[in-house]
Amino acid sequence: KAGVTQTPRYLIKTRGQQVTLSCSPISGHRSVSWYQQTPGQGLQFLFEYFSETQRNKGNFPGRFSGRQFSNSRSEMNVSTLELGDSALYLCASSLSYGDIQYFGAGTRLSVL
Amino acid sequence: GNSVTQMEGPVTLSEEAFLTINCTYTATGYPSLFWYVQYPGEGLQLLLKATKADDKGSNKGFEATYRKETTSFHLEKGSVQVSDSAVYFCALILNSGYSTLTFGKGTMLLVSP
């Protein structure tokens, strides 16, 4: 069974631009969560989606948004990029909310 | 709120040494506890879990016991290998129906031959 797939693996953007990251969950998994990992703040929760509905949101500004499609694939978008948005963005999927989460390899975003 | 505290690293050991990485937590409800491992350039892999007090999670020689009285979930391994070098994260999730993992800062383990 294929794992969680995140694309692209690496991204370089400049300040002020916008970016979209994609996550394909494990087949059959309906819950997708996103996390930001930085050296200073560690791993922080961004959003949780289940059946195309956002169930929970972390403490991030409105520039960070996401969505989930009917096939459970998810995207997250960051608008008006700032230098501090440079991070590894990790997606995790689970069968349902509250179940064990399995992580993808992440998308490393560098903002110049 | 909820939080996880791990011992700071790096932890440097020789091959075949005994490993302990301490983890304590505070939670507003009754959590499930996890250890995840991250190898360089990769995402997180679930190492082991425990869902209730006194449960022992184990995998690949690693063990951790859910201690409610001390709010701890320390990771142990009897004999580490060079291939165990990685960053280890302790995490909790409240049994509230949400999928929000709260992570510790991570502990880097370096094992030398």
Closest Cβ opposite residue A56 in set B42, B43, B100: B100
Mean pLDDT of A42-62: 94
Judge: B100–A106 Cβ closer than 8 Å, yes or no. no
Residues of chain A above pLDDT 70, percent: 99
Residue B9 vs residue B45, higher pLDDT: B45
What is each CA distance from A21 to A35, A67, A107, in whole angstroms? 12, 11, 7
Residues of chain A neighbouring B96 (CB-CB closer than 8 A):
98
Cis peptide before B113 (omega within 30 of 0): no
At residue A99, the pLDDT reads 85
At residue B9, the pLDDT reads 86
Residue A6 has pLDDT above 90, yes or no: yes
Write down the mean pLDDT value for chain B.
94
Query: From CA B80, how far away is CA B84, in angstroms rounded?
Result: 6
List pLDDT tens digits, range B73-96: 999 999 999 999 999 999 999 877
Q: How far is B15 from chain A (nearest CA, A)?
A: 27
Residue B99 has pLDDT above 80, yes or no: no
List pLDDT tens digits, range A61-89: 999 999 999 999 999 999 999 999 999 99
Extended strands (E) in A25-86: 31-38, 42-50, 53-57, 64-68, 74-78
At residue B1, the pLDDT reads 81
Mean pLDDT of B95-108: 87
Residues of chain A neighbouring B103 (CB-CB closer than 8 A):
42-43
Q: How far is A1 from chain B (nearest CA, A)?
A: 16
At residue A96, the pLDDT reads 84
Closest Cβ opposite residue A98 in set B36, B45, B97: B97
Asked if B62 and B35 touch (Cβ cutoff 8 Å), the reply is yes
Residue A106 has pLDDT above 80, yes or no: yes
Question: Considering only CB atoms, which residues of chain B are within 8 Å of chain A?
Answer: 34, 36, 41-46, 49, 89, 93, 95-106
Q: What is the dihedral of CA A29, A64, A7, A28, to 10 degrees?
A: 10
Confidence of residue B68 (pLDDT cuts 50, 70, 90): very high
State which of A39-43, A86-90, B38-42 shows the largest mean pLDDT.
A86-90
Q: How far is B77 from chain A (nearest CA, A)?
A: 23
Asked if A57 and A105 touch (Cβ cutoff 8 Å), the reply is no
Mean pLDDT of B18-32: 94
Residue B16 has pLDDT above 90, yes or no: yes
At residue A2, the pLDDT reads 79
Q: How far is B103 from chain A (nearest CA, A)?
A: 6
* Pick from B64, B44, B57, B50: nearest CA to B95: B50
